[in-house]
């Protein structure tokens, strides 16, 4: 029996940052998906991993990521990479969260970083269009942030923290994320998982699992 619905943020509630990465790569005449390739190299110890665990400031990340890009043979403006993380809200997903919150425990599970002013938490309190995200955050019972808890998806401890805070077992959860690598450990723990490629298709799948209407 499902008691909790867990949502990733960027790529699920917001549009994927990969779209913005590709736009910058095209503008800067860099190979498509270069940023993702750098992020996937030494994924547990690279600049991105340190950033999302709250171990690097924005300035430290920018310097380290640019060094990694140079090692791969490219010049990258890492401040543009950080700026690309502001996606746009997906209204249908926000409505689905609202309806889930009325009947289930809910949590946001997000890999993020310490803000430039040194404060903990979310990537941005506004999206790329300037929409205030605070009201969206308020829909969730719990928000698990990598930069705050010091672990990140796909580390097993991240999912354990989410279950502990909600007071549920993994098999009582369904988790939506746009990255398969983040879904694998959740599924191995016993969670039902949904990979968000097409948001409408993902919501239809979630409706089937929960037995409630989330759209319209």
Query: In the CATH hierarchy, which fold is given to the domain comprising 17-83?
Result: DNA polymerase; domain 1 (1.10.150)
The tens digit of pLDDT for each residue in 158-188 reads: 999 999 999 999 999 999 999 999 999 999 9
Angstrom CA distances, 71 to 16, 41, 76, 125, stand at 26, 11, 11, 33
Q: How many residues does the chain have?
A: 216
Backbone angles phi and psi of 43, in degrees to 5 = -65, -20
The tens digit of pLDDT for each residue in 186-195 reads: 999 999 999 9
Domain boundaries, the chain: 4-16+87-210, 17-83
So what's the pLDDT on residue 133? 82
pLDDT(123) > 70: no
The tens digit of pLDDT for each residue in 129-138 reads: 666 788 899 9
Preceding amide of 154 cis, omega within 30: yes
CATH class of this structure's domain 4-16+87-210: alpha beta
The tens digit of pLDDT for each residue in 28-71 reads: 999 999 999 999 999 999 999 999 998 998 899 999 999 999 99
pLDDT(118) > 60: no
Q: Mention every residue, 6+ apart, whose C-beta is less than 8 A from residue 107.
A: 4, 5, 6, 7, 140, 141, 142, 143, 144, 162, 165, 166
Residue range 141-153: mean pLDDT, rounded: 94
| Distance from C-alpha of 87 to C-alpha of 124, rounded to nearest angstrom | 10
| Distance from C-alpha of 166 to C-alpha of 159, rounded to nearest angstrom | 11
Residue range 136-156: mean pLDDT, rounded: 94
pLDDT(115) > 90: no
pLDDT(98) > 80: yes
Residue range 87-101: mean pLDDT, rounded: 95
pLDDT(89) > 50: yes
So what's the pLDDT on residue 213? 97
pLDDT(124) > 50: no
So what's the pLDDT on residue 125? 52
Average pLDDT over the chain reads 92
Query: 23: how many CB neighbours lie within 10 A of its CB?
Result: 12
So what's the pLDDT on residue 120? 46
Q: What are the structure tokens assigned to 104, written together? A: 């289930």
The proportion of the chain whose per-residue pLDDT surpasses 90, expressed as a percent, equals 79
pLDDT(73) > 80: yes
Question: How much of the chain is in helix, strand and coil states, percent to nearest 5?
Answer: 45, 15, 40
């Amino acid at each position: 029996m499902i008691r909790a619905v867990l949502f990733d943020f960027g790529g699920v509630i917001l549009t994927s940052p990969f779209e913005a990465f590709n736009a910058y790569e095209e503008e800067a005449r860099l190979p498509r998906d270069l940023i993702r390739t750098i992020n996937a190299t030494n994924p547990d110890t690279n600049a991105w991993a340190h950033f999302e665990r709250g171990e690097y400031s924005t300035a430290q990340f920018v310097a380290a990521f640019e060094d990694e890009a140079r090692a791969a043979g490219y010049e990258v403006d890492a401040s543009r990479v950080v700026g690309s993380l502001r996606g746009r809200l997906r209204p249908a997903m926000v409505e689905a969260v609202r309806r889930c919150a009325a009947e289930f425990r809910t949590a946001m599970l997000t890999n993020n970083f310490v803000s430039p002013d040194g404060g903990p938490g979310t990537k941005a309190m506004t999206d790329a269009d300037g929409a205030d995200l605070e009201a969206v955050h308020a829909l969730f019972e719990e928000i698990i942030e990598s930069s705050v808890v010091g672990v990140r998806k796909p580390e097993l401890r991240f999912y354990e923290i989410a279950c502990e805070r909600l007071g549920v077992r993994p098999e009582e959860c369904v988790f939506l994320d746009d990255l398969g690598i983040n879904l694998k450990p959740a599924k191995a723990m016993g969670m039902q998982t949904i990979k968000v490629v097409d948001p409408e298709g993902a919501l239809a799948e979630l409706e089937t699992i929960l037995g409630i209407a989330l759209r319209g």
